[in-house]
Amino acid sequence: MSKNKIRHILSSTVTFLTTYRRLGRLSTQESRGLSILFTRNMATTTINSPRDPNTLSNYNNWRTLHTSTTLDILFDQQKLKGTVAHDLQAITDGESDEIILDSSHVLIHSIMAEGKAAKWETAKRLEPYGSALKIKLDRKPKLNEKIGIQIELETTESCTALQWLTPAQTSNKKHPYMFSQCQAIHARSIFPCQDTPDVKATFDFNLKSPLPVIASGLGAKENPTSPSADGSHQLYQFHQRVPIPAYLYAIASGDISTASIGPRSTVATGPDELKDCTWELEESTEKFLKAGESLVYPYAWGEYNVLVLPPSFPYGGMENPVYTFATPTIISGDRENVDVIAHELSHSWSGNLVSNASWEHFWLNEGWTTYLERRIQSIVHGSDQWRDFSAIIGWQALTDSIKNFGEEHEFTKLVIDLKGKDPDDAFSSIPYEKGFNFLYYIEKLIGQQEFDKFIPHYFETWRGKSLDSYDFKTTLLDFFKPDGKVSAKLAEIDWDTWFYKPGFPPKPDFDTTLVDVAYRLAEKWEGFTRNPDGPSDFKPSKLDIEGWTANQVVVFLEKVMASKTTLPMRHANHMGDVYKLKDTRNVEVSARYYQIAMASRDQSIKEFVVKMLGQVGRMKFVRPLYRGLMKLDYERAVETFEKNKDFYHPICRGMVAKDLMGSKKE
């Protein structure tokens, strides 16, 4: 048989198996296993294509079982220096004498394999994935054989996972600060690793620093609790015994103090912020934990703690195990923004225990987490109205993201194509909100009581593992297969449309009880705007929003933002004055108001916007504010970015730079 004939048969067979997998007839493991088996029987090259297109590692030959990092945190040089040790296991039989790891801008000094010096090389850099590190072994290990490697290294100034703050950039101006953000593919810029969510390993952290250290593991009891008196380095040790993907590797070091916020929870932050952070979080944290456990099963990570970071942190929160890394914008003095903690806590099950196999299926992490977060809100508040209230806010965020990308854009799909692309470029509210709406749709289709039976089954089935969207489909259909009534309802799902159609999903009929008052006020403003000089019985007053929650104000502002009629400048200015929106401590409120004012061409709002852009690094606020400022005053936007770019985290800095460049081209 000719080689071309063999290739044709192989291609047809793998296509057939992939189609069956997408239809839910085969699991990913079954499809891959049959592909490999068939190919071997054809006496040709093994089909060994990994599920994750955003890694350069050969993780289908090797799997990391355990990683130990021994690193010095060198503030004066703004780098980490030390060693990383990986214990890997061969998952093929005598096929590979080469271990390939992801690496990006890491300076490697030496590598040991099985206790002796190993030959190694770094491949030519492939953007945005870095330089593959190839480690040569002197043999081809057999199936399940274990290999230990040790890499001596240091990070460089091009590291995209770390942000270093000078004392002047911190709140009390006394000590420097460092923190990491490894999601999505930035762990490889700290140390070479299999930087894919399809691989999970246990971790040891051995970190030396003159300042307190926090990591995504349980800390040793003897860890120091305060800065060293003479600036010498102290040893901090942490252990993570639940296997995690590399993107959940997290460390932070600075002038950090801690306080209890519950029987199994601590908040950590700067000494000057500790009192406010404790008050903000102590009322809800344990309630959220118990609600989450009632939906799924007992919390698996021992402690649930929160590190409130300096303001340049680019996200609302990052679900690093044991210690959620959180933005200080949740500390608003009114406990109105702590739902971020409900979200990050939900990741303890969705994302951390059960992970998306690649960033193409990111909705499995974020859609599930948003669903759990809103169910937790319903339990804590005692009403499903709160879930729909949050979902309505989320729908507006979804609308904004789809509008920004364009309704036909690849990144508006639930399952996206990231081959050759940077997962950071696809980051938006879409996997959160479109994913939530898919799960919400399924729940409404079969009934909440039935769906609640599936929730713990799903998380137990995939506990400690990674999956893709086709695995989710198979798990759902198989679970309800014995129940003909539910199976018949699930047969109504148009999977291809949900997975692959760009743009909006069908909009649910949300309960608007908690938003109707906000909608009515927005309608009054719209009428006022359409006929500003005509007769009207509407006279804006601070009493309009008296007794409202901050989130109701958010809904009101978003409704105004969504109006086809732009608010005139004098009306926008009046709204800010009457409702005291310009300098509220709640950034969720003020940032939205600033967008309304900029759209009205209110030049006076620029100073407020510029001030916020120098104080807040959370991309949720930074990117929309820059987009608004670009339209109002492009030169001022560039000037503001140049002034603050070193304040922003590298991920945020890169995204805003792209926004500025794109706006200039337009």
> Catalytic amino acids?
344, 432
- 561: Cα separation from own chain's centroid: 26
Helix 516-530 crosses helix 550-562 at what angle (to 10 degrees)?
Answer: 40
DSSP annotation of 188: G
Cα 131 to Cα 67, 78, 109, 420: the distances in Å are 20, 22, 15, 14
Token pair belonging to 530 = 């359409």
- 564: Cα separation from own chain's centroid: 32
Contact 75, 178 (CB under 8 A): yes
**Quick one: CA torsion of 643, 647, 649, 654, rounded to 10 degrees?**
0
Known binding residues for Zn(2+): 343, 347, 366
Q: Which amino acid is at 171?
A: S
DSSP 612-637: HHTT---HHHHHHHHHHHHHH-HHHH
Known binding residues for a peptide: 181-183, 314-319, 618-620
Token pair belonging to 525 = 């403003």
β-bridge partners, 380: none
Contact 460, 296 (CB under 8 A): no
* Beta-carbon contacts of residue 16 (< 8 Å; ≥ 6 apart): none
**Quick one: CA torsion of 13, 14, 16, 18, rounded to 10 degrees?**
170
Residue among 514, 599, 603 nearest 564 (CA): 599
- 42: Cα separation from own chain's centroid: 42
Instruction: Tell me how crowded residue 421 is: count the other CB atoms within 10 A of its CB.
Output: 18
User: Which H or E run includes 341?
Assistant: helix 339-346
Token pair belonging to 573 = 């200015």
DSSP 545-582: GTT--HHHHHHHHHHHHH-SSPPPHHHHHHHHHHTT-S
* Beta-carbon contacts of residue 226 (< 8 Å; ≥ 6 apart): 212
Token pair belonging to 133 = 């590190």
Q: Which amino acid is at 77?
A: Q
Give the C-alpha separation, 46 to 52, whole Å.
17
Contact 132, 57 (CB under 8 A): yes
End-to-end CA distance of the chain: 56
Q: For tokens 């994935």, name the residue.
A: 129
Contact 105, 159 (CB under 8 A): yes
- 54: Cα separation from own chain's centroid: 16
Known binding residues: 181-183, 314-319, 343, 347, 366, 618-620
